Amino acid sequence: MFSLTPEKFKETNGYVIDGVWYPRVTSIVGIKSKPALYYFYAEMKNFKQGEDVKKQSAEEGTLLHETVESILLGKETEIDSSIRPAVEAFIKFKDEKNIQADAEWVEKRVVNYDERYAGTIDALALIDGKFGVLDIKTSQAIYRDYNLQTSAYMEPLQRQLSKLSTRWIIRIDQNQKCLKCGAILRTKGGREKIKTGNGSASCSHEWGPVQGEVELKEFPYYEDDYSAFLGAKKLWEWENDYLLKQVGYF
Ligand SMILES: [Zn+2]
């Protein structure tokens, strides 16, 4: 669809580790179709608007992501006012749950030399007495697709760290609730999206303050996700066969 130079392909789809190029987990997982994206684009005026919303939304997500990681590292962190409710909800949640991140393992590169791929984990953490991979998401829900990504980290990490036993997704977001009907307003990427509840069709909404929201979900069994990830990797390699030959991967 889009033609890339081999150099650009290498840069955007992988990491060079000790002189060897490895495809990155997020690029591989990207081969899976995301039907929800069609609905998203269908709601836009045109393709360009969809791209703009996606870009701005990604930037907002990155800011929240970086702020949360900095807090996990115990650093003095400046919190941008645009994400303050979400960050404060996260801090409260972290303190209540006593979530502890291993500073050495925040934004750390993980390589599977046998299957030839690499990725970057958000954190390794201790939660409820268990040690596992903690992945941070800033989406409106926890999607099953995330499990493909984290399974790819679990496999090589489990061989390296015998105490590692599980994985979690922590979702951090913020929204406003209608004081009259309970509908939810989420502003992301410059776009306002309203999720209505029962009997709210005729409500002239009155939005309350922006409130942070945190959701933590554990996914201990990763074997099935991992075989699906390897299947996705096969398909990704097939799709990119031409460029992968050019960059010397095949
Ligand atoms: Zn309402």
Partnered with residue 187 across adjacent β-strands are 192
Give ∠ CA 235-240-246 in degrees, rounded to 5. Answer: 140
Q: 173, exposed or middle or buried, with CB in 10 Å at 0-12, 13-18, 19+?
A: buried
Measured in angstroms, how far is the CA atom of residue 133 from the centroid of ligand 1? 39
CA of 57 relative to ligand 1 center, distance in Å: 25
Q: pLDDT (tens digit, 9 = 90+) per residue, 156-168?
A: 999 999 999 999 9
- pLDDT value of residue 197: 73
Residue 62: closest CA among 73, 70, 52, 74: 70
Q: How far apart are the C-alpha atoms of 187 and 200, rounded to whole Å? A: 19
pLDDT in tens, 32-88: 998 888 999 999 999 999 999 999 999 999 999 999 999 999 999 999 999 999 999
Distance (Å, rounded) from C-alpha 71 to C-alpha 103? 11
Judge contact between 217 and 168, C-beta under 8 A. yes
Q: Largest alpha-carbon pair distance within the chain?
A: 62
How many whole angstroms from 141 Cα to the centroid of ligand 1?
Answer: 21
**Distance from residue 200's CA to the centre of ligand 1 (Å):** 6
Instruction: Name the region of 70 (left: φ>0; alpha: ψ -120 to 50; beta: rest).
Output: alpha
Q: How far is the CA of 174 from the centre of ligand 1 (A)?
A: 17
* Helix, strand, coil percentages in the chain from 3-state DSSP, rounded to 5: 40, 25, 30
Confidence of residue 226 (pLDDT cuts 50, 70, 90): very high
Query: What residues pair up with 127 in beta bridges, in sequence order?
Result: 130
Q: Rounded to the nearest whole angstrom, what is the distance from the C-alpha of residue 204 to the centroid of ligand 1?
A: 6
Q: Where is 40: in which H helix or E strand?
A: helix 36-42
Structure tokens at 196: 């209505």
What's the chain's average pLDDT? 95
Report the percent of the chain where pLDDT is more than 90: 92
Contacts of 249 (CB under 8 A, 6+ apart): 21, 23, 116
Cα of 188 to ligand 1 centre, how many Å? 19
Per-residue pLDDT band for 201 (boundaries 50, 70, 90) equals confident
Residue 198 C-alpha to ligand 1 middle, in angstroms? 10
* Confidence category of residue 2, pLDDT binned at 50, 70, 90: low
pLDDT of residue 199: 65
- The burial class, CB within 10 Å (0-12 / 13-18 / 19+), for 13 is buried
pLDDT of residue 64: 97
| Cα 78 to averaged position of ligand 1 atoms, centre (Å) | 34
Q: What is the pLDDT of residue 4?
A: 85
